[in-house]
Amino acid sequence: MATYKGIKGVKVQTKATDPTASEAVGTVWYNSTSPTALKYSIQGAGAWASGGAFNTARSGLCGCGTQTAALMYAGAEPATSAKNESYNGTAWTEEADLTTARIQPGGFGTTTAAVCAAGGGAPAETDITETWNGTSWTEVGDLNSVRRAVSTGVQGTSTAGILFGGYAPSGNQAIVETWDGTSWTEVANVNTARNVGGGAGNLGATLFYLGDLAPGLTAKTESYNGTSWTEVNNLNTARAKPSSGGGSATSALAAGGGPSFTAITESWDGTSWTEVADLATARLALGGTGSGNTSGVVVSGEITSLTTATEEWNDPSYTIKTVTVS
């Protein structure tokens, strides 16, 4: 009969505490402290896990950063909000408010250098742009086109970003503008005008997906190479108001959306979208960001009411199991 030592070449080790699950994959150990047990670690498919609760529930917010260093701002509480919160991978902290409250703006950058542009509120759409320096927001150069419900390359920087699509009084927009840290410049339009879609990437490599065609929803995806937009493979499920995917033009995540609340999550590998594990809380108009299809975070949004729920995505996921003997 095969033994663990015969297979692995070492005996089962005794440990006072469990090792990190990702580091222990493929090993077995005996935990000598209460509760004592024989344990092992396994690697599984991507999954969502609960994160720290958001302080102020809202919808139509935007943000930027990574799973362990994120910034989420603006939205509706239901009144338009100027609130701004940062996330360290464990808890959300209230930071200094935006200068102008708004819903459905676009955002990109990091927790210490970010941009918030466009959006809606009282009384209408705006072209206002603000930059964040880690301490406070400052109004800077306006967009060329007034609009809300825009999308962005979330991982742009405070001196190099891109904003596209959206809605204005004249209807859905195909306009694309790039940011150089001082002013906005119009560049090549997207192929399909739409609002409340998702975005990922940066100024030179961008992804634009889903959205509201008003009327109807789309599953379309377009990629930008710094010069022009190209239609690529569609998502599996058409919807609007998903989380923005963070990541890049070759690795992104689209979670949630509507018109009815959905928990559907799809992963982009640079060629096609694949449906993966659902959100625990179905919702739309949620905030989201991340490093790509392996690591992300979504927060707040609409269910039957507003929610403060945060969920973190990891692919692969790692779990420590206890050996049971029947």
Report pLDDT digits (tens) over 22-78. 888 888 888 888 678 888 888 888 999 999 999 999 999 999 999 999 999 999 999
Tokens of residue 23, six digits: 């580091």
For the chain, residues with pLDDT lower than 70 are 1, 3-9, 34, 122-123, 325-326
* DSSP secondary structure of 81-128: B--EEEE-SS-EEE-PPPSS-BBS-EEEE-SSSEEEE--B-SSS-B--
What pLDDT digit, counting tens, does each position of 102-124 carry?
999 999 999 999 999 999 986 68
Q: Rounded CA gap, 65 and 319, in Å? A: 26
Check which CATH number belongs to the domain holding 248 and give it: 2.120.10.80
CA distance 248 to 246: 7
Residue 149 lies in a domain: yes
pLDDT, position 223: 98
In a domain, 271, yes or no: yes
Structure-block tokens of residue 279: 């959100």
Q: State whether 27 and 54 are in the same domain.
A: no
Query: Which phi and psi angles does 258 have, rounded to 5°?
Result: -145, -170
The per-residue pLDDT for 22 is 83
| Residue 21 main-chain phi, psi, to 5 deg | -55, -40
Element (H, E) at 7: helix 4-8
What is the span of the domain harbouring residue 16? 4-44
Residue whose C-alpha is closest to residue 289's, from 116, 108, 133: 108
- Report yes or no on 323 lying in a domain: no
Per-residue pLDDT at 239: 98
What CA–CA distance (Å, rounded) separates 179 from 265?
30
Residues 16 and 67 in one domain: no
CB 174 within 8 A of CB 145: no
The per-residue pLDDT for 35 is 77
Q: How far apart are CA 179 and CA 26, in angstroms?
A: 47
Domain count within the chain: 2
Residues, the chain, total? 326
Q: What's the chain's Rg over C-alpha atoms?
A: 21
Q: Could you tell me if 159 and 307 lie in one domain?
A: yes
pLDDT at 49: 97
Same domain, 162 and 310: yes
Residue carrying the six token digits 């995806």: 221
Flag whether 324 is in a domain.
no
In a domain, 125, yes or no: yes
Q: In this structure, what token pair is assigned to residue 64?
A: 């930027």
Please tell me whether residues 169 and 267 are part of one structural domain.
yes
CB 303 within 8 A of CB 261: yes
